[in-house]
Amino acid sequence: MINMFRNRMVIILLALTVFLNCGKKGTEPEPGPEPAPRITSGPDATSITDKSATIAWITDQKTDSQVKYGKSAGNYDGTVSSEELTTDHSLTLSNLEVFTSYYYIVTSSNANGTNTSAEKSFTTQVNSRFLLTRAWSKFEQGQYEEAVADFEAALSISVNLSDAYVGLGWSYAFLGSLDDAKKQFDNAISIDKQLLDAYVGRGMVFLAKHKYYLSIGDLTHVLEENAAYVFSHNTTIDYRDVHIALAEAYFYQGKYSNAQGHVDVLWPDNGLSPGESATWVVDSVSYATYQEALLSAIEKLKTLVQA
């Protein structure tokens, strides 16, 4: 009787244990794997300059940070990364090219997995030096109105950029805006009195406006500083043009011997002599006066220099 009671109690205890264990498994399932991190904000390009940009984004878990970037879509030859685990990510791309589009993706990883963003892009800003270089390139191609726009844009960034004033002066001169050209040459010289390109330009403007005394002052200064002067942005303009301009300015001042002196520099065997009418010949054409022959010689030199 006692043994039968014990057996029944064992059976009841076993059944109760099984019941309790089954109930526990039903209310507390085994935990599954953690989900991979997600990018919840960004990535965005911020603090963009002419040479750098900062890429920022946020994740829902602490992860490392990586930015891959390049100058064409889908091609990333640059990488910046950080192993620090964080939810707020910020990496700076440096040594970028001015006014250039960049494409980028970001990657965030931890023990739970990796998340990679869609591709985005940004464009670096321009700077005054970039604009100045582009302006001179346009000038050298004869695109004077476009050059003016870039020179002015460069000056809006850096107001004391003397070379931009020189470029504006020459551009306006070629566009026929002599007063604007003179103003810009004045600006350039006020900043840097060593700018021979500005003196040549202003001297030519003075000549065109029949201000011969002022023209002679500027152009003489150029030859005193550099007898072999060449305009670096238009090599067809050089010391020969300066001599011709001086010859013309002196001629219209009535200083014929000074004019003759500059003609002699470029055409030593011209043979003209004010007191000998037999020498008043240019290209087989005889002239009634020395002055007519001298002016013809100046015009001949213009043609030869421009050829």
Whether the CB-CB separation of 165 and 191 falls below 8 Å is answered with yes
Architecture of domain 127-209: Alpha Horseshoe (1.25)
State the fold for domain 39-123.
Immunoglobulin-like (2.60.40)
pTM for this entry: 0.80
pLDDT in tens, 139-185: 999 999 999 999 999 999 999 999 999 999 999 999 999 999 999 99
Q: How far, in Å, are 98, 144, 161 from residue 209 at the CA level?
A: 41, 21, 27
What value does the mean pLDDT take over residues 36-46?
Answer: 97
Q: Are 216 and 247 in contact (CB under 8 A)?
A: no
Residue spans per domain, the chain: 39-123, 127-209, 238-307
Q: Report residue 13's pLDDT band, with 50, 70 and 90 as the boundaries.
A: very low
CA dist list (Å): 96 to 48, 122, 123, 302: 10, 11, 10, 48
Same fold, 39-123 and 127-209: no
- How high is the pLDDT of residue 8? 53
